[in-house]
């Protein structure tokens, strides 16, 4: 197998068919079909379901490896350029939604100023969906909730942030000057689903306080949870940075609850393989931007 064959397979996967893949690769469909066919013959399996226009199970396995190979080849070019004090290349960065809202604009400005040859591709998603993409090689770095599960990813902390309770105007707790975690025992909350890092931390905090969380609804995505709470659909515990301006008493109340833990957010990468120079540069800027975010209420940068 060669790089052209793997590139053709990845293009079919990413663009949903042979003709779209050919257009993306600036070639003709017959070339893409020929490369994939030769790869199938060499491996002795069918990689693409021609009728559905998508990869077979075998094709997905090969594409997962091919994604990593492509990343390593891109890294070779980027690292050689870095030896000439010229950091150029593409960095594919995943960011959880609540953090992306304030972090990405600052990161884009920092990259433009310090490394104009670096192009950022940003994916906004939940930690649960970013981690598999990082493992597959379709992302170089991912800003996610910590701790990061599994042995194949490593992470380093960026910041911790306070958690707050958001309630609609007129709620019985809205005008309480002092709240402790046990005060939430009878409250139905919009919470993340079981199996997520954020939900595990909330469940552990509630258990320590002697009660079990009562879900009003379970929603995968902290940014969506914050939006639902701000629109009055129910109380929710969210990171402080998820709330614009932290307070709008005409639409919502933001309350400090003693006993809530801080959410920890970090940047993850694959353990295997050395990140290319552009990814290392972006990693350094993530720390710099976080340390400089003095205007973000409730944010506590962690040591690099």
Instruction: Supply the pLDDT for residue 85.
Output: 64
Instruction: Supply the pLDDT for residue 4.
Output: 84
Label each residue of the chain as H, E or C: CCHHHHHHHHHHHHHCCHHHHHHHCCCCHHHHHHHHHHHHHHHCCCCEECCCCEECHHHHHHHHHHHHHHHHHHHHHHHHHHHCCCCCEEEEEEECHHHHHHHHHHHHHHHHHHCCCEEEEEEECCHHHHHHHHHHCCCCEEEEECCCCCCCEEEEEEEEECEEEEECCCCCCCCCCCEEHHHHCCCEEEECCCCCHHHHHHHHHHHHCCCCCEEEEECCCHHHHHHHHHCCCCCEEEEHHHCCCCCECCCEEEECEECCCCEEEEEEEECCCCCCHHHHHHHHHHHHHHHCCCCCCCEEECCC
* pLDDT-above-90 percentage for the chain: 45
Instruction: Supply the pLDDT for residue 248.
Output: 61
Q: What domains sit in the chain, N to C, each tagged with a CATH number?
A: 3-65 (1.10.10.10), 87-158+265-301 (3.40.190.10), 163-261 (3.40.190.10)
Instruction: Supply the pLDDT for residue 17.
Output: 83
Instruction: Supply the pLDDT for residue 31.
Output: 85
pLDDT digits (tens, 9 = 90+) for 81-121: 655 567 888 899 999 988 999 999 999 999 999 999 999 99
Instruction: Supply the pLDDT for residue 80.
Output: 63
- Averaged pLDDT, 170-184: 87
Global pTM value: 0.73
Q: What integer best gives the mean pLDDT of the chain?
A: 87
* pLDDT-above-70 percentage for the chain: 92
pLDDT band at 204 (very low <50, low <70, confident <90, very high): very high
pLDDT digits (tens, 9 = 90+) for 209-225: 999 999 999 999 898 99
pLDDT band at 76 (very low <50, low <70, confident <90, very high): low
pLDDT digits (tens, 9 = 90+) for 244-299: 764 566 678 889 999 999 999 999 998 877 778 889 999 999 999 999 998 898 99
Instruction: Supply the pLDDT for residue 38.
Output: 86
Instruction: Supply the pLDDT for residue 21.
Output: 82
């Amino acid at each position: 197998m060669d790089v052209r064959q793997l590139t053709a397979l990845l293009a079919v996967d990413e663009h949903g068919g042979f003709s779209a893949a050919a257009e993306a690769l600036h070639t003709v469909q017959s070339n893409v079909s020929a490369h994939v066919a030769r790869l199938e013959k060499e491996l002795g399996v069918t990689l693409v379901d021609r009728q559905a226009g998508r990869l077979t199970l075998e094709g997905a396995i090969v594409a997962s490896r091919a994604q990593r190979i492509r990343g390593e080849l891109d890294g070779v070019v980027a690292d050689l350029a870095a030896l000439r004090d010229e950091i150029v290349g593409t960095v594919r960065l995943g960011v959880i939604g609540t953090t992306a809202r304030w972090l990405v604009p600052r990161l884009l400005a920092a990259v433009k100023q310090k490394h104009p040859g670096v192009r950022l591709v940003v994916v906004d998603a939940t930690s649960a969906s970013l981690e598999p993409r990082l493992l597959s090689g379709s992302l170089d770095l991912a800003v996610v909730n910590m701790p990061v599960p599994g042995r194949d990813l490593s992470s380093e902390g960026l910041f911790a942030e306070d958690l707050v309770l958001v309630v609609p105007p007129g709620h019985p707790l809205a005008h309480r000057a002092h709240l402790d975690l046990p005060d939430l025992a009878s409250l139905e909350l919009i919470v993340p689903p079981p199996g997520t890092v954020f939900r595990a931390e909330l469940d552990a905090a509630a258990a320590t306080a002697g009660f079990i969380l009562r879900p009003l609804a379970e929603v995968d995505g902290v940014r969506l949870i914050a939006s639902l709470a701000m629109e009055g659909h129910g109380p929710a515990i969210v990171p402080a940075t998820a709330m614009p301006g932290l307070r709008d008493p005409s639409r919502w109340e933001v309350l400090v609850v003693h006993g809530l833990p801080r959410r920890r957010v970090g940047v993850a990468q694959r353990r295997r393989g050395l990140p290319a120079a552009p990814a290392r540069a972006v990693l350094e800027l993530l720390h710099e931007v976080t340390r400089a975010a003095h205007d973000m209420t409730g944010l506590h940068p962690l040591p690099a």
